[in-house]
Structures are given as structure tokens and as C-alpha cells.
Amino acid sequence: MRDNPLLDFNGLPRFAQIEVEHVIPAIEQLLAENRSRLIELLSETNTPYSWDNILQPMQEMGDRLSRAWSPVSHLNAVNNSPELRAAHEHCLALLSEYHTELGQNGALYDAVKTIADSDQYPSLSQAQKKIIQNNLRDFHLSGVDLDDDKKKRFKKIKQQLSQLTSSYENNVLDATNGWSEIICEPSQLAGLPDSALAMAKQTAAGNDTEGWEFNLQFPSYFAIMTHADDGDLRRRFYTAYCTRASDQGPNADKWDNSKSMEDIMALRQELARILNFTNYAEYSLATKMADSTDEVIEFLQQLAEKSIKVAENDIAELKNYAHAHLKIEDLQAWDLNYVAEKLRYHQYDLSQEILKPYFPEHQVIEGLFSTVNKLYGLTISAIAGVETWHPDVRFYEIKDQQGILRGQFYLDLYARPHKRGGAWMDECIVRHAQNGLVQIPVAYLTCNLTPPVGQDAALFTHDEVITLFHEFGHGLHHMLTRIDYSGVSGINGVPWDAVELPSQFMENWCWEKESLALIAKHYQTGNVLPDKLFDKMQAAKNFQSGMQMLRQLEFALFDFNLHINYQLNGQPQVQHILDAVREQISVFIPPQFNRFQHAFSHIFSGGYAAGYYSYKWAEVLSADAFSLFEEKEIFDRQTGESFLHNILEMGGAEEPMELFIRFRGRKPEIDALLRHSGISTES
């Protein structure tokens, strides 16, 4: 193919030119070139192996492959089609085979080990040494020590897992897009705010339909679950949402992930056993901060013990309010959000809907950029004329106080069909230096926030604002790195249980009066958030915090116990292990038809396998890091620059605990997290 845009590494991806037929030829060509180049590198034995003649070329080969694959993977997530999906899955198998080959290449392992044992090693930079250490570890985790039969089985398992996890995610996407409800009777929509009705009307009109169309995209689903007075309507939407991609619900068996989950788990456990780990959780921790499975379980259970009484009070409060004020005698799972929103309003005269007019999209974005400027002295500007994958997508650049370009990013804010749910940051281009020239890092920042309705600006809930700040924290970690080696640049090489530190850290500025003055202004009047509303937000900040904490701990304990206890006996176990965790810590058991796990993409297809605990683990770090700003001022520039230099710029070049201590002056303590969550450190 004469002009394949995926093979053009000059500048940004050429999204307007990328077609499905470009994908497979580009990846096949790069893999062939990389294999050939590796043979050349390993055959050049006239001079001793060094960073310059083996590891630097390997970094450059990996960077080219990453730059070609990144837009393909991203388009598959944000603009999915059957044709792109097929090409994506075909290439996943090729990439899995290639990366396993690298990890099991004994000659390459010997070359890296030779460098590690050589006289040149002490003179290498800290980042170079960390890459070598990580490489040697990862060779063992890829099966370089195995005999030939086990190597073949390991490679086969990796390919099967690649296919299964992709299939799992496709099923979730299809199931989310595969159900909606058109409502023509206004009385059924009692309680819904005008903004939700206008959005549903716009959706219906876009599909040439009368009435109001609600679907399982989160802004639409959340509006029903939070505001609809019709309990049967809430039940239908809850059922459709919590049975996605399963054997239950309105689309039972259509995109069922039941077998995929069991197959994924069996293969993960087999892979861990081949490498002589007791279970997949142990294998997972080999690349994380936590030292042992016992340490993780103890950490999660400690948080659960401190939270359970608060959560029991939370659920009792909901039940009492539902009975006394809403005539709901038997509180059901589809009532929880609805009753909680009513109770919040009753107790604090506050709701998400009251706050939304103060969070118009343009002000939130401007306030986010101003917050970053005050903390780190960075300037963020929009850049026009950049090719994107959708008209709503915007592009920005970040410059430091010296006017030096530090990073660029695409911003894709709104929920829409054919786009994966949730919110994430991903790498488009990684910082990397070659021949003295630095490659500027570029990020994708993707959300599924409430889109604009009609001519009005998009109005966000406060929770959506927090989501945006969270993902931008990940983006800053990727874009502000000063490390010139892609293996430990940005988020690369950062242990998974530390990677959430910068993201959760940024969330804190969504709650402070001084920063809210930048973020929150009424979309019609331009007035800042009134003191009265701010005081209500603060009073309600930890509303139902015990329930929220236990919900996240349930997810984390389910994930970790699943990857410890799953047995290779051919029997379905996923539901049983989830039920056991719920019996242990949940204060509200969902109905039997609930199939939450069938759409739990984080652990089955999103990289958080035996790692979901990372959110809470890193939240201890982020809360404690922010407490230093609380001791000084939330925009204290000296403290901000210390966080910038010690955390954001360092990537994975050093161990995260060392970096945290350098910033905070001590090891992290759990007290700040409990205090921020309204949970007593004494409980």
C-alpha cells in the first residue's frame, strides 16, 4: 500500500485518512521489520552489547509499533464498526504473538543481562537502569525460563486471552447499545428534569422517532435511575443495565459473557501456574507496589472494617426515609439512587440537578486549565485544524513557564453510540528521545459526559466534573514527563497500584472554594457558585460515603479473591466468588438476576485484573499528598512544583514509594483518606 497513513510518523495521526484496509498491512509490515531488525541487532557480535546498540534500537522499534497501533486501538474504542473490530482483533493476535516472542527470546535476554552485569551499567542513567531492571523481570514473567513445550503453551494462552478479553469488551459495547426504550406517555416521565427530557427528545429525533428515547449510555441511564418517580420504569432500566452481556434480562444470552469470563479466569490461573506462581494475583503483584496478596487483602479488609458501620447507618437511613416519605416499603436495588437523591435534597436542600447550571462545559474546561496553571505554571491552548475522529473532538497543547511545548491532547467529552462506556486516558504518542530530538507526548482524554442539548452548552453534574479532573490527572502524568526513554516515560513502567495517584489527586480541586471559583459559574448569568450552595456541597460531600466506600471495596475484594481462589476444575465459579464477597461485606445484596460482573470491563478486559484494589491503594497516596496542600494553601506554587518535579515528571524511572517520600517527606498514612471520606480513624 503506497501511502498508508498508519506508517506516517511525522506529526499527529492522520485520522481523516485512516481506513480499515490500512490496519492489517501496517501492523504486519512493522512486525516483519521489527523481527528482521532484531535478528540484525543480535547478530552483530563484533562489539559488546550496550545500551546504544541493542536497547536504544529496541526502544525505537517499540515506539514505531506503538504509534501505528495507538490510533487503531483508539478508533476501535471511540468509533467502533464491525469492519474495524475484525481488523483490530486480527492484529491483537499478531501483537500478542510478537510480544510473547520478545519476552521469550533467550538471546535478547542474555544481551540485556550482559549489559546489566557489565562495567557500563553504573554509568547509565537512573531511567536506563530502571528499564533494564524491568526488562529482566518481564523476561521471567514472559516465560523465558520455560522449556519449549511450556513456552508454546504460554504463547497460546496469551493469544487466547487477547481474543477473549476483546470479545468480552465487544459484548459489553454491543449490549449497551443494544437496548433502549421509547416513551410516548409523559406521565411515565414524572420527576425527570427538563435537561434529561430534552436530551431524550433529541435522541429520539436523531433516530426519526416520536417521544422520548432513553438508553443505557450513562447520562441517559443515570437520569432515569436518579429522578424517575415511576418505580417500574426504574426497575426496567436497572434490569437492562445490570444484566448487560449476560444470561439474564431483556437481551438474555444475546451477548453473553458467562463462558468468556470463566475461560479468561481459567487461562489466567494456568498462565500463573506455568510460571510457578500459586495464583494469578501473585503473578499480578510481581509488577506492583504491594508486596504480597496477604498485604492487599489485609489493606482492603481494614478499610472495610472501618467503613461497615458507617455503611450500615447509610442504608438504614435510606430505608427509613423511603418508608416514611416515599411510601416505599421494601427498598429495592433500582430504588437506591432515586431515594438517595431525594434524601440528599431533604437533608441538604441539594441535588446534582441544582448544581448543573453552575458547571457549563466551557467554564469547567477553562477552570480546569486555570487550576493547572495556578498549580504548575502551565498554559493550555486550543489548536485548530487538527484531524480528529469526530466533530466534537478538540485538540490542545500545553506549554510551561518558559514557553516550551510539553504535551498535546485530544479531548472527546460526550457519550454517543459506538463509543465504549466509561472514561479513560490513553497514550497517542509517548515521550521519547532519538538522536537528541524529543518526541512530544500526546494523550487521548475520553469521557462519556452529558452532551449539549439544542443550542445550550453542555451542563455537567458535579460527579462528571470530578471524572474529567480525574482523567486529566492521568493525562498530566503522561504529558509532563521529563523522561526520554519510552519504557519508563509518563505512565509507562509505573506500578499499576500507583498509577491512579495523579488522577485521584486532581479530584480534590473539585471541592475547594478557591478552585470552584474558577470552575463553577452559572451558564446564563456568569455568577460564581454562591456561598450557600458551596456550604451545602461541603455538608453533603460525604453523604452515603460508607456505602460508596463499601461498593468500591466489594469490587476490589471480588477481583482479588477471584484471582486468588479460582480453581482449575472446569466448574463455573465467578458468580459464587462474587456472592461470597457480598455476603462478607455488603450491607445491601442486589437481586439474584444482577450480573454486574458480565460488564466489569476493568478486570476482564481493561488491565485491572487482580489490580482493582489500586484505586483504593492509590487513594491513600493521593489523599495524603493533598493533605500537604491543606496544611499550606491549595494553590501553593512551591508545593505544586514539588509534586510536578517529584511525581508527574518522573514517570516510572524510580519506585513510586521513593518518589512519594521525596514529595511528602514521609511514607503515606491512611488517616487523610478516612478523613476525606467522613470515616473515623478510630472506628
The torsion defined by the Cα of 231, 232, 233 and 239, in degrees rounded to 10, comes to: 110
Q: What is the CA radius of gyration of the chain?
A: 25
609 closest CA partner among 654, 655, 562 = 562
State the DSSP code for 54.
I
Write down the H helix ranges in 179-257: 194-206, 218-227, 231-242
| Pairing of the two strands 424-429 and 442-449 | antiparallel
Residue in the block written with cell 480546569: 368
CA distance 252 to 553: 28
The grid cell for 405 is: 511545548
CA distances from 209 to 202, 213, 503 (A): 10, 8, 40
CA distance 670 to 239: 37
CA distance 540 to 553: 21
19: Cβ contacts below 8 Å, ≥ 6 apart: none
501 closest CA partner among 630, 660, 375 = 660
Assess whether 397 carries a catalytic annotation. Answer: no
274 closest CA partner among 106, 435, 108, 151 = 151
- Could you give the maximum distance between any two Cα atoms of the chain, in Å? 85
3-state SS assignment for residue 444: strand
Q: What is the 3-state secondary structure (H, E, C) of 499-566?
A: CCHHHHHHHHHHCCHHHHHHHCECCCCCCECCHHHHHHHHHHCCCCHHHHHHHHHHHHHHHHHHHHHC
CA distances from 573 to 259, 287, 299, 549, 597 (A): 11, 26, 24, 25, 12
66 closest CA partner among 37, 36, 89, 91 = 91
**In 596-683, beta strands by DSSP E:** none
114, burial (CB in 10 Å: exposed 0-12, middle 13-18, buried 19+): middle
Element (H, E) at 215: strand 212-215
Catalytic residue among 471, 500, 554, 619: 471
CA distance 547 to 563: 24
Show which residues are catalytic.
471
